[in-house]
Structure 1
Amino acid sequence: MLTKIRYSVKDMFLWSRGETFIFLTYTGIITYLYEVQEWSFLNVPWTPVALIGTAVAFMVGFQNNAAYDRIWEARKIWGAIVNTSRTWGMKIQDMLNNNHAVDPLSEQELKEQKRILIYRHIAWMTALRYAMRESRSWEASHKSKSNREWTKMLHIPERISTLEDNLLMYLSPEEKAYVMSKKNKQTALLYLQSKHIRELKDQGYIWEFAFLELENVLEELFTHQGKSERIKNFPYPRQYATLAYYMVKLFVILLPFGLVPEFAEIANQISFTHPVIGSYFIWLAIPFCASVSWAFHIMERMARVGENPFEGIVNDVPISTISRGIEIDLRQMLDEEEDIIPSQFPEDHNAQL
């Protein structure tokens, strides 16, 4: 249904340019002290550095796999919300009728009841996506300067308008006041849905078997909501994330002490046959070491920001786009005029929001 962000290598370098500059500067200082100042004691055997690097690679790889699993699970949950929402719209259209009604409604009155139920479902999706965009203390998007820069560049709908203003488009003033008085607003909306269809069943506008089918759909929506809230409210275990973070830092600090002497030894060997190249070869340790440091750092950082797939950053699940797509489908099934159906949220910097 959806294509995701086209996140180029250039964007990744811009995202981590501050750290890249630090890696280059740090390695440059170590190389200068070792080569020019002849601080030969700045020499750590390569074997322990390599062993630490191997351990870090395993830890960061595990963290990346776990982060990807969280993102992919979140995407599957919202894909299921798409399917269940369409099912809700279809069943409301076909199961709400006068076949068993004691006091039949007019065609226009039936259509209005269907509109209320479908609009309330759109309000549920709206409340759920706003709940998913709320910040948590363990989320990482606000802790890095470059993350904050990306966040300012993206126009996340939930940060532009309030939930209260959005609910005005889908609920009556009384229902909106009731929902806003509750902490878990999306749950309150599903309770209203259940109450409404029970009243319609009591009046004969929904057959009892159809009522049970609609209740099953609401149960599915509760399940999807609970799964989404679980990912939002339960962070990736901090002991793993923190250990990986500090181990990457330790490896990046030790790496020049192991690589620069290695490059110095290679330079000495080259000097016998190519003196000019050999005299400058050690300085290649700067870009090489910075590249290795960047690779480990960027893998850890990608995992760190990928742990929370609803923050509203470029690699998150595009729940705003998904919700608006469902809204468009449901309102078209109501045969509304195209000019009153909202358009899809535009891509922002090649990212769906």
Structure 2
Amino acid sequence: MLLIQNIRLSRILINTWRVDLIMIASCTIAYFTREYLIAHHFQVSAIVPTVLGTAIAFFIGFNNNQAYDRWWEARKIWGALVNDSRSFARALINYVDGDNTTSITMIHRHIAFLYSLKASLRGTVDEIYIKYLTDDDLKEVAKHKNMHNAILNIQARDLQKLSKANQVDGFRFIEINEMLVRFSDSMGMSERIKNTIFPTTYSYLTKVFIWLFVVTFTLAISDTAGIAAIFLGWLIGFVFVSTQINGMSLINPFETNSAGVPLNSITRTIEINLLQMLEEENIPEPVKPINEEYIL
């Protein structure tokens, strides 16, 4: 997630340089094609790039709105996980009577749940969760493809044991179990966003329309702008391309990039909060920003 208000021009160029080269080549070909092949036969009307520009604006607007909706929903889900995690730990620490060993184990197991879910959403291998699980837990979750779901199942089983041992009363049992349900809901909503592919036709058609616009715009203004039409064609195309790429960077909010939801930072924040609530000494450091520009 970006931390600064102003985006560096270098980052924009890094994201668009390949498309920029294609646009410059297309504008150059379009200019010389008009000059030496079609200049004496017909003139490309300015209405053509005008209509294409309008269509592109609609497509980019739709794409970017949908992309931001996906990103914002993902951010809200993980914001809710932060709040629910703190409430979960607070309830286990303060509402469970007797020996607090099970409560500590469940809070550690919850941290493992978060790291396992994060790794699954990003398609990476993150073994931090291992240190927060007991040997028996590790053996059990190893049998499941969805490890974070298996962890929630163990949590529910331990909560039931606390209830049978009369270490938590009925009202508190319901309250803590509802938090487990919310964790499951957040997990399912996150997986839905990850597994739902944004329709590729929208992105593909937008790219095609931008290319057609750049070519027709260059053809339309070559008569009056001369060779400067190459630069002007690229410049107008750059505006559309950079806007479209900026929106598409949000389409997969759990990816490891500067625009994604900062799962590393959020998970580490929850880990720090919960360990401090347990008054443990070995507290990890917060995730540091990369180049003071963004955080993962």
TM-score when scaled to structure 2? 0.92
- 1-structure distance, mates of 2:31, 2:2: 45
Larger mean CA deviation between 23-32 and 291-300 belongs to: 23-32
- 1-structure distance, mates of 2:18, 2:202: 25
- 2-structure distance, mates of 1:15, 1:76: 27
- The aligned runs of 1:185-264 (5 Å cut-off) are 185-263=147-225
- 1-structure distance, mates of 2:18, 2:62: 25
Native 8 Å contact 1:31 1:283 kept in 2: yes
Aligned to 1:310: 254
Q: Deviations over 1:147-186 (max 9, x none)?
A: xxxxxxxxxxx4xxx33x3222100122112113211111
Aligned to 1:151: none
Native 8 Å contact 1:86 1:330 kept in 2: yes
Aligned to 2:113: 124
Verify: 1:299 aligned to 2:243, yes or no.
yes
Aligned to 1:352: 295
Q: CA deviation at 1:196?
A: 0.4
Native 8 Å contact 2:104 2:278 kept in 1: yes
Native 8 Å contact 1:93 1:114 kept in 2: yes
Secondary structure at 1:16 match in 2: helix
Aligned to 1:10: 10
Native 8 Å contact 1:60 1:244 kept in 2: yes
- 1-structure distance, mates of 2:103, 2:42: 75
Q: CA deviation at 1:45?
A: 1.2
Secondary structure at 2:61 match in 1: helix
Q: CA deviation at 1:20?
A: 1.6
Verify: 1:174 aligned to 2:139, yes or no.
no
The alignment's C-alpha RMSD in Å is: 2.0
Q: CA deviation at 1:33?
A: 4.7
Larger mean CA deviation between 317-326 and 232-241 belongs to: 232-241
- The aligned runs of 1:299-338 (5 Å cut-off) are 299-337=243-281
Which stretches in structure 1 are left out of the alignment for 5+ residues? 99-104, 135-157, 264-281
Native 8 Å contact 2:2 2:259 kept in 1: no
Q: Deviations over 1:319-348 (max 9, x none)?
A: 1110101100110111011xx211122222
Q: Deviations over 1:286-328 (max 9, x none)?
A: 2221111111122222233321111111100111110101100
Q: Deviations over 1:118-153 (max 9, x none)?
A: 11110110111111102xxxxxxxxxxxxxxxxxxx
Q: CA deviation at 1:10?
A: 2.6
Larger mean CA deviation between 234-243 and 115-124 belongs to: 234-243
Instruction: Tell which structure's C-alpha radius of gyration is larger.
Output: 1
TM-score when scaled to structure 1? 0.78
Q: CA deviation at 1:43?
A: 3.8
Native 8 Å contact 2:112 2:130 kept in 1: no
Aligned to 1:58: 58
Native 8 Å contact 1:132 1:310 kept in 2: yes
- 1-structure distance, mates of 2:224, 2:134: 72
Larger mean CA deviation between 198-207 and 10-19 belongs to: 10-19
Aligned to 2:233: 289
- The aligned runs of 1:82-101 (5 Å cut-off) are 82-98=82-98
- The aligned runs of 1:2-81 (5 Å cut-off) are 4=3, 7-35=7-35, 37=36, 39-40=38-39, 41=41, 43-81=43-81
Task: Give the aligned length.
Answer: 293
